[in-house]
Copies of this chain bind each other. A is one copy, B any other.
Amino acid sequence: MNSDEFRKYGHEIVEWIARYYENIEQYPVRSRSLPGSVKARLPLAPPAESQPFDTLLKDFNEIIMPGITHWQSPNFFAYFPANSSPPSVLAEMLTAALGTQCMIWETSPAAAELEERMMEWLRDMTGLPDYFEGVIQDTASTATLVALLTAREKVSSFRSNSSGLFTSGILRVYCSSQSHSSVEKGSGIAGIGRENVVRIPVRKDYSLDPDELRKAIDHDLAAGYTPCCVVATIGTTGTTAIDPLRLIGEICSEKGIWLHVDAALGGTALLLPEMRWMADGIEYVDSFVFNPHKWMFTNFDCSAYFVRDAASLIRTFDILPEYLRTRTRGKVNDYRDWGIQLGRRFRALKLWAVIRTYGVDQLRSKIREHLRLAKILSGMIEADKEFRIMAPVHLNTVCFRWQPPGITDDEADRMNEKLNHALNDSGKIYLTHTRADGRYILRMVTAQTAVEERHVTEAWRLIRETASAISSQRGAVDID
């Protein structure tokens, strides 16, 4: 593909993207593809000969697009926001073109130094302590694994990395019953074992119960186990519960246990001074992760990981083969030593583009608006006798359940599941579910880049209307 062709198709794609964002509400939010339907339209064998890029774009529109679930749609209320934004897309274009490898400083000094500065900006924007040093990881799963590994090394005086865990005492990790699955997955990967993750019971608001944490740690100590790490969450995946950081931190400090905070979703809200209560106790924290690629309008992947003691982090991950020795070693940040992967994309550029294009003020007002939308939605739900709010609404997610009077809990579970599928099958909105206390509950996240109040009120109208239709069918079936 020569320069002229690149220009032609590049400009076409820019127009395509602009139109995509303009018309995004016209697509069914969750793809209606049936399993295997996309694959069936893709040839079994790769082409031997070069194909014009036109044909690729045609197939992209006809085969791929119907199989896309539109995460950028303002009617996407599912899972969590995975927000892109125009400045972030523009920056990704430059990142792709440069194709620069950011494993060490020398392989792209500007990328390393922009990353360093952007992590300082994010740290200050979220009010984290100034002794934290940051690095971009791909995901919070990876960042939490990195925290577990650093904690594992520290508690074993940096012996487990070298000798393995075979002769070590049994290490234990603590998190709430609502914590993200990555804590268990990471503990399995780290050789600690998923069974050594102690799931601490939660309080009524689904936040970790610190008394139960203390009991569990004391129990483990008495049994001869070695506490390794506590993972507290600011904004759990299921219900966005906020664990009580100060109370947890006091226990960790007393017992000398690494405290990692998973604020993958919730961290972005720390841009707002009025939300900083969530981070009360941050002085006890050893490591902290939040995902600008979730709620801060920055393309996936971009997970901001902060650590109090960068030297321990580096000691956990550095390895220096001859072919990576450079003259600047030790004078600069070689970020390959700050995590698992050697190869790294130039991800700081999109953060720079997003923060400068919106400015901190606009970022704050967008996040405030999302919090306001969640309150509006929860207000409407509370006012409806057939629905119940199922968890405190601290952030951008409303957990609720359809429970008309006189319906058993089990029957309501089935009705909510049916409601969820009917809504998602409609293509008009997309929301997902979780379970809390064994009950099926719906989650609606009001934090998409382009979401406005009208999307939320229309979604709520649709939910009520669909519930009502299911009720009538149910009545009809009962009569049969």
Contacts and interface: CB of A to CB of B under 8 A. Distances in A.
A51 B359 contact: yes
Given A85-B1, A116-B39, A93 B20 contact: no
Nearest to A193: B164
A64 B192 CA distance: 42
A109 interface: yes
A5 B86 contact: yes
Given A46-B124, A99-B299, 20 more contacts: A7-B14, A13-B94, A35-B332, A38-B109, A47-B356, A49-B362, A50-B356, A50-B357, A65-B110, A67-B109, A69-B106, A84-B96, A142-B341, A162-B195, A164-B192, A165-B193, A184-B319, A237-B323, A293-B343, A322-B434
B100 A96 contact: no
B193 A163 contact: yes
A476 interface: no
Contacts of A108: 31, 67-69, 71
A407 B421 CA distance: 77
A352 to B, nearest CB: 7
Contacts of A166: 165-166, 168-171, 193
B106 A30 contact: yes
A109 B31 contact: yes
A309 to B, nearest CB: 18
Interface string A1-42: 101011101110111111011100000001101011111001
Interface string A145-169: 1000100100000001111111011
Given A13-B93, A321-B181, A51 B191 contact: no
A37 to B, nearest CB: 8
A403 interface: no
A353 interface: yes
Contacts of A89: 6, 10, 93, 96-97
A82 interface: yes
A314 to B, nearest CB: 13
Contacts of A46: 121, 124-125, 355-356, 359-360
B341 A139 contact: yes
A79 interface: yes
A100 B83 CA distance: 9
Contacts of A152: 191
Given A36-B113, A170-B166, A50 B323 contact: no
Contact of A3 (B22, B70, B293): B22
A357 B1 contact: yes
Given A96-B93, A190-B191, A49 B361 contact: yes
A113 B18 contact: no
A317 B83 CA distance: 26
A303 to B, nearest CB: 8
A183 to B, nearest CB: 10
A160 B299 CA distance: 35
29 contacts: A7-B15, A7-B18, A14-B14, A16-B97, A20-B98, A31-B109, A38-B109, A39-B116, A42-B117, A46-B125, A47-B355, A47-B356, A49-B361, A49-B362, A56-B87, A64-B349, A68-B98, A71-B108, A84-B97, A92-B93, A141-B343, A145-B189, A161-B188, A164-B170, A184-B319, A191-B191, A238-B321, A322-B433, A323-B434
B97 A79 contact: no
A17 B6 contact: yes
B356 A90 contact: no
Contacts of A36: 113, 332
